Amino acid sequence: MTFQLIILGVIILSFVVVIHELGHFSAARLRGIKVEELGIGFGKSITVKKLASGTKITLGIIPLGGFNKLCDERNQCIAGKRYKDASCWEKLFVILAGPTANILLAIFLLCISSTFFPGKIEMGPVVYAMSESALIDPGELKAGDHIVSVDGVSVDTWHDVLTNWLSKAGPHTITVRRNGSTVNSFPVTTRKEAISLRYPDQYGIGSHYSNLTNCVTTTIPGSPAQVLGIRPKDCLIQIGGVDTNSHIDVYLALSEWKDAPNLSIRVKREGEVEELNLKNINKKIEKEPFGVVMNMEAIYTKEQLSLIQSLSTASKTVAVYFAQIVGGVIKLITGEMPLKDLGSIYSVGKYGSVIAEMGVSEIAKYIAIISTSVAVFNLLPLYILDGGQALAITYTAVTKRAINSLTEQLFTKISLIVVIGLGFMAIYNDLLTI
């Protein structure tokens, strides 16, 4: 299974990388810059095809990453101009075309998915119930209210409500629709101790997520759930002596499962109830999330959108992905997110195998997230990446001076250390879970 997951991870990443390199390749060709070799993978390579333009397409024995070998001062360009002779804006065009191709791929996948394979979406921000022990001052908020906006910002999903209201301490102003008509805005307040929570239900606002099933769709390969023998269609009816009637109940009960090594789980399977115990879990995999993917069939399915509507929605979604991934990078840099959360091709394959069972729409969404992640990674200001190269080109354009060779070598070495270090850390994290 481990080998299969690695192969799946390689396939997903290779596809995204090929699109990235084709972006660079196409931009170079458009500006008349000769591309001597378009390589997919590294190490000893074989020539798969030679184009009429003279470009060799090669495949390396290590199918990770890729490159475009452009004609430069070390080569004689028989046809086309050297990269060195291109203007600064042409170089920027070529460099930024790779990440742009990844963003366009993500938009394309989401657009095609929502047009031809309409999938599931988050529930709209409709209040199902209110708890007396709410961690907010809900003001005039009542069960049945449809939240329209928070502090003047329109909200379409519970995720929007969490982002704009519940995760921000202090006073806010919300507007709701009640009984089909818009109600005047009124004040609400979120307590400081509540801002780190993840679900509306934890704040004391019952969302329609509360009604979702407690049954399992699938388990993540190699996870504690799979090791315990939990199967698709199993219903987790009790965890640690607490009844779990919805998927939120399950997630909340399992959120701290590593702190309860003898936690018992009652599973209803084909009408029979079985009891499982976490004391049978190997210590090695206690670092893993529990690994159940809950049945989300109760979520309203999306209406099939027109191509124009899909394009607009996909673009907005990818913009959100981009911002969230950039936020994750910033948290890694500041230490707010631990390096142990990094994963390599094994993680990509592991989660990809789970998502593959959830339909075409979810597969497209997953690859779109991976593609956006590749775009963000390549835009990091490291000299060997597109972001670093773009900064160097911009510096040359503004100052009219090229970066000297010693500085270039230093930047290159620092970048290699960072990139290789992150790569080894990601692989190490995966090895701990295999």
Give residue for tokens 């929570």: 197
Class of domain 127-211: mainly beta
Average pLDDT of the chain, as a whole number: 78
For the question of whether the overall pTM of this predicted structure is more than 0.75, the answer is no
Structure tokens at 284: 């090695």
Q: What is the pLDDT of residue 135?
A: 56
> Which tens digit of pLDDT belongs to each residue from 292-310?
666 544 344 455 667 788 8
Q: What is the pLDDT of residue 300?
A: 43
Q: Of 291, 322, 353, nearest to 11 (Cα)?
A: 353
Statement: residue 209 has pLDDT above 60: no
Higher pLDDT, residue 330 or 298: 330
Structure tokens at 67: 């490159």
Contact 392, 383 (CB under 8 A): yes
Statement: residue 285 has pLDDT above 50: no
The dihedral built from the CA positions of residue 359, 362, 368 and 371, taken in this order, carries a sign that is negative
Class of domain 216-294: mainly beta
Write the DSSP symbol of residue 198: -
Q: What is the pLDDT of residue 398?
A: 92
Ranges 39-43, 299-303, 314-318: which has the least confidence: 299-303
Structure tokens at 213: 């099933």
Mean pLDDT of 410-415: 94
Statement: residue 412 has pLDDT above 60: yes
Outline which parts of the chain fall under CATH 2.30.42.10.
Answer: 127-211, 216-294
Q: What is the pLDDT of residue 266?
A: 87
Statement: residue 16 has pLDDT above 90: yes
> Which tens digit of pLDDT belongs to each residue from 245-266?
766 677 667 665 555 556 778 8
Q: What is the pLDDT of residue 123?
A: 63
